Chains A and B, each alone.
Chain A
Amino acid sequence: MKVTVKSWTAVASWRWMANDDNCGICRMPFDATCSECKLPGDDCPLVFSLFPHALHPEVAELPAGEPAVPHVQAGVEVQGP
């Protein structure tokens, strides 16, 4: 007997390869959106550079001139590495 797979349609869920599950600021899951986006994924990409933690984009957008991290840090406890 020979079985040939012509096509295999499979189901997968995507997730961000981040070091946490929730955004450090808005506490929403990364795989969902931040408070201002409607569609997850490409339309609401994570911001990785600011912080030890990844962030949702809108909450990471800070007013110009402000020191980036300390401002957001006010209410958030930094954990992890």
Chain B
Amino acid sequence: MKNTGLWIRTGIILAITLAGFYLVFGPRRMPNSSDFTWQGIKNNLASNITLGLDLKGGSHLVMRVKTDDYLKKLTENNMQAALSTLQDAKLNVASSQITTENGNYSMSITMADGTNLQDVVDAIKKKIDVAQWTESRSGNTVTWSLPGATQNALKDQAVEQALKIIESRINAFGVKEPTLQRMSKSSGQILLQMPGVEDPERVKKLIGADSNLALMKIVSAPNPSPVTTYPTEEAAKQSLGGVVPPNRKILPFTERDDASKPVDPANKKPTQFVVVEYPAVVDGSELRDAAAVSRTGGQGDYQISFSFKPAGAQKFGEWTGKNINNYMAVVLNDEVKSAAFIKSQIFDSGEISGKFTKATAEDLALTLKSGALPAQIEYEEERTVGPSLGADSIRAGVEASLGGLAFVIVFMLFYYRGSGINAVVALILNMILTVAALVTIKSTLTLPGIAGLILGIGMAVDSNVLIFERIREELRLGLEIPKAISVGFDIAFITIIDTHITTIISSVILYMFGSGPIKGFAVTLILGLLINLFTAVFVSKTIFRWEMSLRPNMPRLSI
């Protein structure tokens, strides 16, 4: 039969249409009778389309970066580094003291008699940056303290840094189009609003996760003797002569070998301790990438592989080269996750074995990759909020848009008569399929996305108008109906292809270089245009062909 091609085209269109309708209005489970009621369709539609913060609302979280803790940690770390430096330089420290309270942050070191204080200061300045600290000396004591203005500047930096890290964490987690705002400068508060996510608690935990990775050398006899561990912290201390020197640290060792027995949270006291050398060989700031990998595919068998930036890899490579057969600890948040001897020189990668579950391993990799937060975060306020555009104005906007659409449909039917039906079918199909595509890629629809949809619909109308006007022109020139239709489609197609490709090119660029709202716009527009090539050209032409095949000798085309 000569209509075979036409039937195939029709079959393709029907299949795609049905799939589109199901994706938009159907349930994501076995359909039942309730799915054919008006309410059921509405419910399915609502659960299929994820709306963004501006259209639907979501969680509203106010968190505070503990900036005081940040300064405290900074002071403590500096002190520890200073003492370790002095120990290495064989300068005798009589006593040391740090103050980290009531807005005063200072560290003072008192040297044993007879030490040249200038040597002390020089040695410390070589290792740590104390440029922002005020230095004062009296007798054998040198004191560095942080002036108030510097404290504020440092706190400010810490909040900015935390903001960036939080942003990268929620983006990496796949939260679509959150908004992050700083609140009052002095309080260190950050306001996060994010659209409804499946597991807000997990996101909250992820944002605040404190992940500090360090690779440290364990004080132990080298392989083949087993790694030296101590049953208690006290025993470890005794091995160091009762006092922990500044260049040593005692850390709990919590390696788990058996994933089937999860750590009992009530009894998670570590059973072993190791002594490690301080400072670390390399730390988390040198990480380039981290990923959760499964060794066997089992649920509780995930570990984290990581790789270093070039500088870190260099450092690590040099150190491992010199320390073959020595034991190294992978330390996460001041807990030794694994201890292993170095078989050969390693440069740029390693892994944290520890039998994690998939979710914890993924979250851990993600937080490691985003870098450590400068200080801990606490949540101060939590609420769920309505759409930021306001529910009433969204309703008004939807009604106005539907009104506009109705006007377009009425006009097309009035102006192009029978062919207007083609256009309307193509237009509605375009919208359904675009939304279906958005549902398929799990995109979150926001107002910019809707703007992309509007432009896509505008260009769909334009495609129809271009084709119909061209067919009319060809008819006026005296062409027979089938010829006019085919020439009209062919010529208009050149224009349509050019306009579509141009817009798709620029949208792809917007997608690549834009973020949040710009990406949302680009995605819907690209999908809308690709689908329009199908609906406005393929579908519309098929309808015309049916018309011609059913009424081969029609005297005039209704256009």
Q: Do A and B come from one complex?
A: no
